[in-house]
Amino acid sequence: MSTPKGNCPQCGRSTQLDPVKNPYRPFCSERCRLIDLGAWFDGSNRLPSEEPADFDDFPDDDVTRH
């Protein structure tokens, strides 16, 4: 049985996807994993979403402003 392989999402190198042989999967190394994590932390990677509603769009009935 052959080990499944894929490409590292960070650098594109071929890497093993077996969790025993590659603890950093789907990345090829700890370095690539940490580069990706850093991109999420600094906001370079983000999921698209709608902008949140502006506070002024809500009725003033139950809102207490300080």
Enumerate the known binding-site residues for Zn(2+).
Answer: 8, 11, 28, 32
How large is the C-alpha radius of gyration of the chain?
Answer: 21
Give the alpha-carbon dihedral of 50, 51, 55, 60, to 10 degrees.
-20
The residue type of 56 is: D
Binding residues are 8, 11, 28, 32
